Structure 1
Amino acid sequence: MKYFGNDTWVYVDGEFLKADCAQIDLFSQSVHYGYSAIEGIRAYNTHNGTRLFRAEQHYDRLRQSCGHVGIPFPWETDRLVDMTYQLLEKNNLRSAYVRPLVITGYNMYLTPAESSSIIITAWEWGPFLGTGLIKLTLSPYRRPSPSSLPPESKISSQYVASIVATTEATSRGFDEAILRDSNGYIAQASSNNIFIEKDGVLYTPPIGHIFPGITRKTVLELADVLNIDVVEKPLLPEELKAADSAFLTGTATGIVGVASVDDTVYSEAWADTLGATIQRAYKNLTLEKENYQVII
């Protein structure tokens, strides 16, 4: 995938620059130590025009992520949302993925840098994991312990574990990895939350060891509107494999159904699952085809 060209604009600290002219500090803590924070926001091409989905929540979470690890965040959410819409317009993007990134200044000591910069990029976006059902595998790697870093923080360095897990999974022919937490329970996929269905009820791991995704929260809200029971509880690997169906959720992914976990194939037809119902409702919500926003 090509993320930018000669005419691509990016937003850097209050101004729009051509992507190939933007520069970063080679002595930045972000470069040397991964001391930075990221977000991912989806823009959808709706009948009301290009619309960012829950951008305020994403920028508020970016602020919180920075606060958890001591990165300065002096920017106002409303201003960042406005600049993001302007960035999409300058790049003529209607359906896109937006990547805000907060990087830190120079400092070779293991103390917070005194300065930070915000960069917002955007590029055309298609289905992250495709449109069909995917194959999962239980990864030998585990989600970092919450005793190491706050699990609710979207810190760049944490994604090294996700890259390692995904690389190992795809090398064995799977689409995505499922990581366990430090206690051996199911945590999440490399960059997505997970739900399973069993006997007409949805189950998902509780917060504490997982990343509490905004899409995950939206699914919980939609399930409430649709009178679908959801239980948040620790899940054993055996429960994942004994489920009737499963699906993943995330900003980049949206909602995608699961065909199998390792050698276990889910027998229930995806179209008949609660996940498929949630998937349709989520699509209608993001494309503003139904006004669930009034309810949730």
Structure 2
Amino acid sequence: MYYDHKTLLYLDGKFVKASDASTDLYSQTLHYGYGVFEGIRAYKTENGTSIFKAKEHYERLKNSAELINIPFNYNVDELVQVTYDLLEKNNLSDAYVRPLVFCDPNMSLTQPNNVSLMICAWEWGAYLGDQQLRLSVASYCRPHPRSVKIEAKVCGHYVNSILATTEAKRNGFDEALVLDSDGYLAEGPGANFFFEKDGVLYTPQLGNILPGITRATVLELGEKLGLEIKQGLFRPEELKTADSAFYCGTAAEVIGIESVDETKFPLKWSNSLGKKLQDEYSKLVRTSELKLSTVN
């Protein structure tokens, strides 16, 4: 699904076949989830392949590593160029890119001395599909911000996401909606959350959620459209009188939500602010003025 015998990935300074790549089974990342990663999208444009906000993603990767004391001795601009090279070598235009910083063998609970960097890419449609989602509020809450660095994109944090999504799907829903440890709306297992009420958009404030790059982009687009957007603490009960809602994230892009715990939002998706932002986001990523490669 993610690679074949021809696929190349970037590993510790070299392009190698994915089928030949290997890692140490004593890696601290494998045993403890002590590693950081990113999700990045590349889009085919009239001028070639454009990686959307590549620099911002690699800056966040660096910040995530530094927040949890993982060495990060990589140049962000060089990583951006390497990623364009990787896409070209694999003849990919519309693609999902996954950088991963993982640690050397270490069975102790201490920071690593050395790390490795892997970057791979594959064709991947919108992670949550293109139909409106039926959500359920998860029984699992997001990790408390005093227990982990919640703003870091850490491998081990996503066990929480897997549990929430698995629970939702087992109960017949498409995805979960996760609350924070105080019972306020937080985010999806892999996406940030917005809801609309009386022409105003609301989204959980930073502090208990991942500061999504797509979330920041949606906020920028909303400002350009003249939308009123409020960030704060919101109880799940407020969704009962909301008009519409959506998720946004690099993998999911912008995707509408039909209902939460079987309570449907009354506003048609086509008439919602989320739909306007979905269209603007789709237009932006495919006409990006960021650095363009020669991949066609």
- State if a TM-score over 0.5 links the two structures: yes
Partner residue of 2:132? 133
Residue deviations 1:127-179, cap 9 Å, x none? 11111111111000000000111111000000000001100000111111011
TM-score scaled to structure 1, two decimals? Answer: 0.97
Equivalent residue runs for 1:160-175 within 5 Å: 160-175=159-174
TM-score by length of 2: 0.97
Counterpart residue number, 2:122: 123
**SS of the residue 2:233 aligns to:** coil
Aligned Cα RMSD in Å? 1.3
Structure 2 segments unaligned to the other structure (5+ residues): 292-296
Gaps of 5+ in 1: none
2:50–2:290 contact (8 Å) kept in structure 1: no
Cα distance in structure 2, aligned partners of 1:113 and 1:27: 12
Q: 1:82: Cα distance to partner?
A: 0.4
Letter in 2 for 1:38: F
> Is the contact between residue 138 and residue 177 of structure 2 (CA under 8 Å) also seen in structure 1?
yes
Q: Counterpart in 2 of 1:65?
A: 64
Letter of the 2:206 counterpart: I
The structural deviation recorded for 1:292 is 11
Number of the residue aligned with 2:234: 235
Q: How does 1:78-157 map to 2 (within 5 A)?
A: 78-157=77-156
Q: Quote the offset at 1:240 in angstroms.
A: 2.0
Rounded to whole Å, the distance in 1 between the matches of 2:173 and 2:240 is 15
Hey, what does 1:226 align to over in structure 2? 225
CA distance in 2, matches of 1:241, 1:285: 32
Residue 26 of structure 1 corresponds to which residue in structure 2?
25
Q: Write the deviation string for residues 231-257 of structure 1: whole angstroms up to 9, x where unpaired.
A: 001110111232100000000000000
User: Aligned-pair distance for 1:107?
Assistant: 1.1
Distance 2:143 2:19 in 1: 35
> Whole-Å Cα distance in 2 between the matches of residues 169 and 263 of structure 1?
12
> How many residue pairs are counted as aligned between the two chains?
291
Displacement over 6 Å in runs of 4+: none
SS in 1 for 2:139: strand
Residues 205 and 32 (structure 1 numbering): CA distance in 2 closer, same or farther, change over 3 Å?
same
CA distance in 2, matches of 1:92, 1:72: 31
Q: Confirm whether residue 279 of structure 1 aligns to residue 278 of structure 2.
A: yes
> In the TM superposition, what is the alpha-carbon distance from 1:187 to its structure 2 partner?
0.4
Greater RCO, CA 8 A, separation 6+: 2
Counterpart-to-counterpart distance in 2, 1:133 and 1:263: 13
Offset at residue 229 of structure 1 (A): 0.5
Counterpart of 2:183 in structure 1 is 184
- What CA distance in whole angstroms lies between the structure 1 residues aligned with 2:202 and 2:143? 22
SS of the residue 1:141 aligns to:
coil
Quick check: 2:51–2:290 contact (8 Å CA) kept in 1?
no
Q: Supply the AA of the counterpart residue of 1:216.
A: R
Residue 203 of structure 2 aligns with an amino acid whose one-letter code is T
Identity in percent: 49
